[in-house]
């Protein structure tokens, strides 16, 4: 594997993406999301602290960044195939793996740039507006966790882009994955809790006396639940919109949830690479 080839593809792709106006539009969306959430938060108007802002943004982030990541990557491979340009690219001294990794790293860097420009700029405004300057280390940790969650869905988007035979199929597959993880999986989780006889209202009040031990392990099945748990642990958040956060087992920690997020990010990416290397282009 030639790393110069990967770097050349990444550099070219990143420069092309960075020149598009939608890149700045995404960064602006993330900036406005954080600033508006902080100013018009749950406890009246005015800038809140970074911790309260992050707590209010977690669910919004799960929905927004996952769909943004899927839309960013769903056409990366299939567009080249439909235009026939993928054969031209591979006619250069460039392997399939180098081409894939070059495009993947470029899109990953683009996601990283938009998140850190948007949310990072918003944090500066919030800190100045709210007079808070003490939570930057936690906030940077939150940004990296958010980026890692975005990488999970970027991996899925590359997977559908590799498998699909048409761009419309890739779009449909990406939307289905987003809908499954943001909507269906939550309903399935609630259904399992109901079948297991768990008192959901008591759970929201922080009473875990009737909570089976295996239920906690199900948090790792959903990357979005894992992400939200990770962020809550970073800030030691105890209250969400009036609901108490229940005590959790010791094996659910910042490190374990970060590791699971990393596994979630790598799994679809490795599968996409495997498919791409064997696929008839």
pLDDT-based confidence at 204, cuts 50/70/90? low
Q: What is the pLDDT of residue 134?
A: 54
pTM over 0.85: yes
Instruction: Share the mean pLDDT of the chain.
Output: 83
Predicted local distance difference test score (pLDDT) of residue 4: 82
3-state secondary structure of 88: helix
Could you tell me if 258 and 148 are in contact, meaning their C-beta atoms sit under 8 angstroms apart?
yes
The reported pLDDT for the residue numbered 220 is 87
Q: How confident is the model at residue 270 (pLDDT cuts 50, 70, 90)?
A: very high
What three-state secondary structure class fits 281? coil
pLDDT bin (cut points 50, 70, 90) of residue 241 is very low
Q: Report d(CA 40, CA 44) in Å as an integer.
A: 6
pLDDT, tens digit, 9 for 90 and up, residues 53-101:
887 788 888 889 999 999 998 888 888 888 878 878 777 788 889 999 9
Predicted confidence band of residue 237 (pLDDT cuts 50, 70, 90): low
* CA distance between the termini of the chain: 20
Q: Which two tokens stand for residue 46?
A: 């005015």
Task: Specify the residue for token string 């996409």.
Answer: 272
- pLDDT computed for residue 17 by the predictor: 84
pLDDT greater at residue 268 or residue 209: 268
pLDDT digits (tens, 9 = 90+) for 98-145: 999 999 999 999 999 999 999 988 888 887 766 555 567 888 889 999
Asked if residue 182 has pLDDT above 50, the reply is: yes
Number of compact structural domains in the chain: 1
Residue with tokens 């669910």: 59
Encode pLDDT of 150-179 as tens digits. Answer: 999 999 999 999 998 888 889 999 999 999
Mean pLDDT of 11-15: 88
Torsional class of 20: left (φ above 0), alpha (ψ -120 to 50), beta (otherwise): beta
Please report the pLDDT score of residue 243 as a whole number.
Answer: 46
Query: How far is residue 43's CA from residue 241's CA, in Å, rounded to a whole number?
Result: 10
Structural domain containing residue 24: 3-278
């Amino acid at each position: 594997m030639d790393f110069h080839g990967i770097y050349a593809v990444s550099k070219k792709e990143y420069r092309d993406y960075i020149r598009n106006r939608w890149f700045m539009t995404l960064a602006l969306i993330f900036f406005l999301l954080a600033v508006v959430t902080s100013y018009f938060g749950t406890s009246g108007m005015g800038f809140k602290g970074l911790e309260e802002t992050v707590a209010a943004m977690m669910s919004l982030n799960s929905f927004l960044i996952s769909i943004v990541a899927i839309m960013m990557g769903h056409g990366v491979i299939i567009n080249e195939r439909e235009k026939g340009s993928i054969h031209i690219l591979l006619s250069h001294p460039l392997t399939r793996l180098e081409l894939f990794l070059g495009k993947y790293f470029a899109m990953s860097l683009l996601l990283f740039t938009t998140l850190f420009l948007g949310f990072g700029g918003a944090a500066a405004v919030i800190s100045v507006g709210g007079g808070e300057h003490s939570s930057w280390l936690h906030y940077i940790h939150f940004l990296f966790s958010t980026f890692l969650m975005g990488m999970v869905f970027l991996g899925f988007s590359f997977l559908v882009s590799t498998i699909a035979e048409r761009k419309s199929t890739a779009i449909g597959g990406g939307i289905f994955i987003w809908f499954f993880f943001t909507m269906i999986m939550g309903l399935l989780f609630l259904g399992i809790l109901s079948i297991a006889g768990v008192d959901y209202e008591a759970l929201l009040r922080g009473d875990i006396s009737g909570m089976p031990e295996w239920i906690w392990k199900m948090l790792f099945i959903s990357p979005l639940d894992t992400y939200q748990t990770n962020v809550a642990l970073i800030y030691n958040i105890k209250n969400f919109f009036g609901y108490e956060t229940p005590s959790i087992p010791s094996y659910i920690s910042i490190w374990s949830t970060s590791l699971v997020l990393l596994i979630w990010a790598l799994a679809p990416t490795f599968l996409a690479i495997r498919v791409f290397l064997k696929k008839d282009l």
